[in-house]
Amino acid sequence: MQNKIALEEHFATADTIGDSEPYFGRDVWPTKKAQLLDLQDERLRRMDACGIEVSIVSLNSPAVQARADAALAIDIARRANDQLAEQIARRPDRFRGFAALPLQDPEAATLELRRAVEELGFVGALVNGYSQTGSMDKAVYYDLPQFRPFWGEVERLDVPFYLHPRLPLASQQLATEGHPWLMGPAWQFSVETGTHALRLIGSGLFDEFPKLTVVLGHLGELLPFNIWRTSHWASADGRNPQGIPAKKSFVDYLRQNFYVTTSGNFRTLAMRNAMEEMGTARVLFSSDYPFEEMEEAATWFDAAEIGENDREAIGRDNARRLFKL
Ligand code: GRE
Ligand code: ZN
């Protein structure tokens, strides 16, 4: 399929490139490092070869979210957004941007989002999970009350918020002790990010701001598969002894406030499950380059056993509508 739009596509700056090194062996790191730092050369050639017309580009992970010093987080986010805007300006026909946001300081993040959207022309934000704040062992999740004014601004600006994975805090990794292969993209990224998304839902965030849109990668970080069970046990009809503020069934929030992308999860059965649970209009093509091969994503998607109308919707038209491209 030609003219696809992809929206979990990463770059890095000099400040953040080191964050991605632990995910690669020493032999491949020089290649991946160069791919993360490049927008105009190899990336464009690959987009051409893969039928990707537009990439919506975002910073690598965890980057801004792992700078416990809020002033540093603010500075790195601003500089990354400025650098990305400069790169986009060279090829506005091929690139758009997601803002990195210093949510260590909710007010600064609100201002930076407004600047990124209104001055830099970005189409939303991509945030790498919880923010370490004050100390590296303190995590803040965005269902907390101090983030409500921030979410109000996201809704007012009418831009999607991409909740992207990062590792759980070091102190929270007991379940994987002795099994380091469970960390990162193999499992813990999805558990961490899916849990964060459920916190947002359960907190009543989408009842307060019903027009909010959150995007999840990797075909929904396990949520679409488990949504009936989560909905069932989280419902307020007496099964949930804790009680939760959310007013509707969780499956309704998934269908009304969430989109999922195919980033780094090239499995037709899982995509079809997400299409049926959420509606095809809420599924979007992405690759997760350079953490995944753009060619593998495109080759899989272009041949996946779905109808041609659905392919056009997921590959391009849903994103065009969501991001007003
Ligand atoms: C990502 O998408 O950001 C990512 C990483 C590390 C490994 C895999 C991956 O940051 O998809
Ligand atoms: Zn990613």
* Tens-digit pLDDT profile for residues 132-175: 999 999 999 999 999 999 999 999 999 999 999 999 998 998 89
pLDDT of residue 244: 85
Residue nearest to atom 3 of ligand 1 (CA): 61
What is the value of pTM for the model shown? 0.98
Q: Which residue has the tokens 């499992």?
A: 187
Of all ligands present, the nearest one to the C-alpha of 61 is 1
Question: Cα(230) to centroid of ligand 2, in Å?
Answer: 25
Question: Cα(117) to centroid of ligand 1, in Å?
Answer: 25
26-72 tens-digit pLDDT: 999 999 999 999 999 999 999 999 999 999 999 999 999 999 999 99
Ligand 1 contacts CB of residue 264 (under 6 A): yes
Of all ligands present, the nearest one to the C-alpha of 12 is 1
Question: Cα(288) to centroid of ligand 1, in Å?
Answer: 7
Ligand 1 contacts CB of residue 83 (under 6 A): no
- Tell me how far apart the alpha carbons of residues 282 and 154 are, in angstroms, rounded to a whole number: 19
Joined tokens for residue 53: 């017309």
Mutate to test the pocket of ligand 1, among 288, 293, 294 (most ligand atoms within 8 A of CB): 288
Ligand 1 contacts CB of residue 19 (under 6 A): no
Q: Measuring CA to CA, which residue among 110, 115, 146, 152 is closest to residue 127?
A: 110
Question: Cα(244) to centroid of ligand 2, in Å?
Answer: 30
Q: Measuring CA to CA, which residue among 153, 242, 170, 159 is closest to residue 199?
A: 242
Of all ligands present, the nearest one to the C-alpha of 6 is 2
Q: Just list the catalytic residues.
A: 288
Ligand 1 contacts CB of residue 184 (under 6 A): yes
Which atom from ligand 1 is nearest to the alpha carbon of 292?
11
- Residue 255 burial (C-beta neighbours within 10 Å; 0-12, 13-18, 19+): middle
Cis peptide before 160 (omega within 30 of 0): no
Give me the interface pTM, i.e. the ipTM: 0.99
- Tell me how far apart the alpha carbons of residues 304 and 319 are, in angstroms, rounded to a whole number: 19
29: DSSP letter: H
Q: Which residue has the tokens 């537009």?
A: 54
247-268 tens-digit pLDDT: 888 999 999 999 999 999 999 9
pLDDT of residue 235: 75
Mean pLDDT of 90-109: 98
Which residue type occupies 60? N
Question: Cα(41) to centroid of ligand 1, in Å?
Answer: 21
Mean pLDDT of 180-191: 96
Least confident of 42-51, 122-131, 168-177, 279-288: 168-177
Ligand 1 contacts CB of residue 291 (under 6 A): yes
Q: Measuring CA to CA, which residue among 62, 106, 54 is closest to residue 80?
A: 62
Mutate to test the pocket of ligand 1, among 23, 58, 263, 286 (most ligand atoms within 8 A of CB): 23
Ligand 2 ion local residues (Cβ < 5 A): 8, 288
